[in-house]
Structure 1
Amino acid sequence: MAPRTRAEALSRDRIVEAAIELLDADGERGLTFKTLTERLATGSGAIYWHVPNKNALLADATASVIAGALTVQDTGSPRDEIRAIALGLFEAIDRHPWLSAQLAVQLSRSPWGSATPRIFESIGRRVSALGVPEATWFTATSALTHYIFGAAGQNAANARVLDGGVDRAEFLHAAANAWEELDSGEFPFMKSIAGQVREHDDREQFLTGVDLILTGITARSPG
């Protein structure tokens, strides 16, 4: 048997794994074929053997992370499984700050790519199992998906601010204090919820939003 070349020995999975490591460390700017070859101790030709360009590599990295987030236990309860998927995506975006932007790009520019169909299929299959009218499947699934992306993305953005050395409790306390100082006539609602900001749990708040959407979806279902 002929010996394997370096390009053949280097697997696509290992390239994607290394790309995710670089993305987690320095974001999209930190992922170049130069940094990738250094990380893998190989030549660029070996990488190009498996991956044609950076966009393809970003798509593969996104798909790899998403695959893990969408893997949930079959409980027999579509609602519980949707919550598990939502939390899985929330935590994936929290662990990988670059993921939110990649999901937004793929959703808007290439909804036929690998990530969007998998997310919609995973959530939509369970939405249909809730007894939601078929004519509203797309709208209901889109509402859930956009909420998940938006809320998880905002949480990731907040985390990046806190990673700069800002204490979360102090940050929330300062925000609550500022809201309490707002003019009562102009901002009565903001003043009323200021106290809730101090001690809220991000994941609990996120899942409450998911539950609100699911309640609205199922309320429109026959029976």
Structure 2
Amino acid sequence: MATRTGQDGLSRERIVDAAIAMLDEGGDGALTFRALSTRLKTGAGAIYWHVANKSELLSAATDAILAEALRSDEADTSPRGQIRAIALGLFDAIDEHPWVGGQLSRLASQAGTLQIFERIGQQVEALGVPAGEQFYAASALLNYILGSAGQNAANARVHEPGTSRADLLGAEAAVWTSLDPATFPFLHRVARQMGDHDDREQFMAGIDLILAGISAGR
């Protein structure tokens, strides 16, 4: 399909790329057609020729990020390997573009969410999960992926200027250590892990636990 390009050389792809950059820099609130027009050095009318409104633009920007995130080059082509690749691709995409998590959580019927659910569902079926249980297994994976990835991105945005992730986790671990060990024995045991854990590793451990549960249920 040919790219639709206006007389000023403006294309839908160029508009979407600019919108993604603005969303990365300032979030949903930073994206207005006036600001986008200034960035692209064109009039709002030229943008409307390609995109009807902000909602359509947000959907297009989200779809562009997801298309890249779901392009798996994972060597493991097994259903389990594909699910892990989908999960990690989405985690990294939402970590890099935090606004994507918010877009995916707004409407369960959004094209992007449906695309993810379909990809996961196909692999759940390939795992041999009985038809009557596939919806629940795929839902558990989808909800965990979007919820955990979105929360990780949200946590990254609340850092105070000049505060590193290590500082933030260290402070939280210190709070856990200061709690009464008789009341919070578990938190005392895992405080050190909390203070220096890797977010991607923690996320994928959750995926593996869900997959193990799915396999055990079969």
Q: Kindly indicate whether the alpha-carbon contact (under 8 Å) linking 1:6 and 1:46 is maintained by their aligned counterparts in 2.
A: no
Matched residue, 2:97: 96
Alpha-carbon displacement from aligned partner over 1:122-152 (angstroms, at most 9, x marks no partner) = 1111111111111111111110011011111
Q: Which amino acid aligns with 2:23?
A: L
Q: Which amino acid aligns with 2:59?
A: A
Matched residue, 1:63: 63
What is the rounded CA distance, in whole Å, between the counterparts of 1:218 and 1:12 in structure 2? Answer: 44
Matched residue, 1:178: 175
1:155 aligned to 2:148? no
Matched residue, 1:138: 135
Coordinate RMSD, CA, aligned: 1.5
Matched residue, 1:198: 195
Aligned positions, number: 213
The alpha carbon displacement at 1:5 in A equals 4.7
What is the rounded CA distance, in whole Å, between the counterparts of 1:143 and 1:210 in structure 2? Answer: 10
What is the rounded CA distance, in whole Å, between the counterparts of 2:47 and 2:173 in structure 1? Answer: 50
Alpha-carbon displacement from aligned partner over 1:42-90 (angstroms, at most 9, x marks no partner) = 1111111111110111111111101111111363311111111101000
5+ residue gaps, structure 2: none
Q: Which amino acid aligns with 1:202?
A: D
Q: Kindly indicate whether the alpha-carbon contact (under 8 Å) linking 1:20 and 1:61 is maintained by their aligned counterparts in 2.
A: yes
Q: Kindly indicate whether the alpha-carbon contact (under 8 Å) linking 1:73 and 1:81 is maintained by their aligned counterparts in 2.
A: no
Alpha-carbon displacement from aligned partner over 1:83-122 (angstroms, at most 9, x marks no partner) = 1110100000010111111110132xxx1x3101110111
**1:162–1:68 CA distance, 2 compared to 1 (3 A):** same
The alpha carbon displacement at 1:20 in A equals 0.4
Residue aligned with 1:164, SS: coil
Percent of aligned pairs sharing the same letter: 54
Q: Which amino acid aligns with 2:94?
A: I
1:16 aligned to 2:13? no
Residue aligned with 1:162, SS: coil
Q: Which amino acid aligns with 1:81?
A: Q
5+ residue gaps, structure 1: none
What is the rounded CA distance, in whole Å, between the counterparts of 2:160 and 2:52 in structure 1? Answer: 34
What is the rounded CA distance, in whole Å, between the counterparts of 1:165 and 1:26 in structure 2? Answer: 18
The alpha carbon displacement at 1:162 in A equals 3.1
What is the rounded CA distance, in whole Å, between the counterparts of 1:125 and 1:73 in structure 2? Answer: 17
1:72 aligned to 2:69? no
TM-score by length of 2: 0.93
**1:64–1:121 CA distance, 2 compared to 1 (3 A):** same
Q: Which amino acid aligns with 1:191?
A: H
Q: Which amino acid aligns with 2:7?
A: R
Choose 41-50 or 203-212, whichever is displaced more: 41-50
Matched residue, 1:212: 209
What is the rounded CA distance, in whole Å, between the counterparts of 2:70 and 2:6 in structure 1? Answer: 35
What is the rounded CA distance, in whole Å, between the counterparts of 1:159 and 1:84 in structure 2? Answer: 22
Q: Which amino acid aligns with 1:44?
A: A
Choose 50-59 or 190-199, whichever is displaced more: 190-199
Matched residue, 2:88: 87
